[in-house]
Amino acid sequence: MKRDTRIIHAGSHPERWNGAVNPPVWRASTIVSPSVAAQRDLNGPNRFANVTYGRHGTPTSKAFEEAVAELEGGSHCIAVGSGLAAITATLTGLLETGDHLLMTDGCYGPTRYFCDKSLSRFGIETTYYDPRIGAGIADLIRPNTKVVFVESPSSGTFEIQDIPAIAAAAHAAGALVVADNTWGLGTFLPFSHGVDVSLQAATKYIVGHSDAMLGTITVNSADLYARVRGSVALFGFSAGSEEVWLGLRGLRTVSVRLRQQFDSGLKVARWLQARPEVLTVWHPALPTHPDHALWQRDFTGGCSLFSFELHPVARDRLEAMVDGYHLFQLGYSWGGFESLAVVTSDEYARTATAKSGNPIIRLHVGLEDPDDLIADLEQGFARLKDLP
């Protein structure tokens, strides 16, 4: 069966739920046993998937994890409470005092903050590298480099990384490759490109309706699963039953939503390219993007998130343009049904791509008609010109 078909049915098991195609919400903390011996037997009749306490999961979360592992192409998945929890649990599970981490300079802002403020206190050193370094990353790998973290495209400026080349260099030195694959959900198969651990902010496209916080960690080996799951359990990062159920429901339609939002986003991006107010549109699917060839090689599609850079403009004009949007609401998240805009801050403009200092606006294109979204943006450009 093809991938979209497998996603629809993965983790469903209606025979377990009296015919219900979507698993019910299991709300459980305490799991009781009939005897001391039975409590020791993790595979006993009163157990589901070795769970002894609700923090380790429920049948609902196990169904969700099975489905996400199918989507990502991995062997095991762990559900956690947010995308950032997926990042922090993974890094703390794979690194220890004295280790060295190579982190892409285009990473999500809170990832950088965690490295600088928390990992540093644990005696773990982080070096930031140019996302376009490719095989040259071999020159930065040290004997104590244990993890190379990639995020492709980069947050804010959307550089595409040569992950196969980076993974080859990392593996040759005995390091693991961890990917924030939220943008590439369903269109970038991480494990076929050398990634060892793939992370999702499932809050975004998997949930898809802007109403739940959720993260996932997918691996392709039992050893990595044990290491990362241990960190998740130790920090208490388990996901709530209601959120997992919402994620499982959203997952069933993610393929069709992604395709429509990608197509709509590309239409908006092409329109922006023709605007005199716009200096650059950073969308990897555009042939003008400097990493377009890499995107074509490694991705089967894309999503709805991209950025554009304006020519220099006064702050009051910029704010008048953005504040007046009707359909593009101002919000930091993405992946839901609604369109969003945000003027990116310095934390998303650290790479060489964004050193001009010009305003950068990140757009998430939702499920509205793209012609209506273009009209909203056009009215914004009119406000930009109309200010005295």
Catalytic residue positions, numbered: 55, 108, 180, 204
Q: How many CB atoms lie within 10 A of CB 173?
A: 15
State the residue for tokens 């540093």: 120
Pair 63, 23: CB distance under 8 Å: yes
- Token output for 239: 């996901």
Cβ neighbours of residue 289 closer than 8 Å, sequence gap 6 or more: 158, 160, 282, 283, 295
- Token output for 376: 């909203």
**Distance (Å, rounded) from C-alpha 295 to C-alpha 293?**
5
Task: Classify the C-alpha dihedral 14-18-19-21 as positive or negative.
Answer: negative
The DSSP-derived string for 264-296 is HHHHHHHHHHT-TTEEEEE-TTSTTSTTHHHHH
Q: For residue 29, which amino acid is it? A: S
3-state secondary structure of 216: strand
From start to end of the chain, where are the E strands?
Answer: 76-80, 100-104, 125-129, 145-151, 176-180, 197-200, 215-219, 278-282, 305-310, 329-330, 340-343, 360-364
- Token output for 268: 């908006």
Q: For residue 361, which amino acid is it? A: I
Choose among 331, 308, 305, 304: nearest CA to 318. Answer: 308
| Helix extents (H) in 35-138 | 36-40, 59-72, 83-94, 109-117
- Residue 24 carries which DSSP code? P
**Distance (Å, rounded) from C-alpha 190 to C-alpha 198?**
7
- Greatest extent of the chain over all pairs of C-alpha atoms, in Å: 80
Pair 163, 195: CB distance under 8 Å: yes
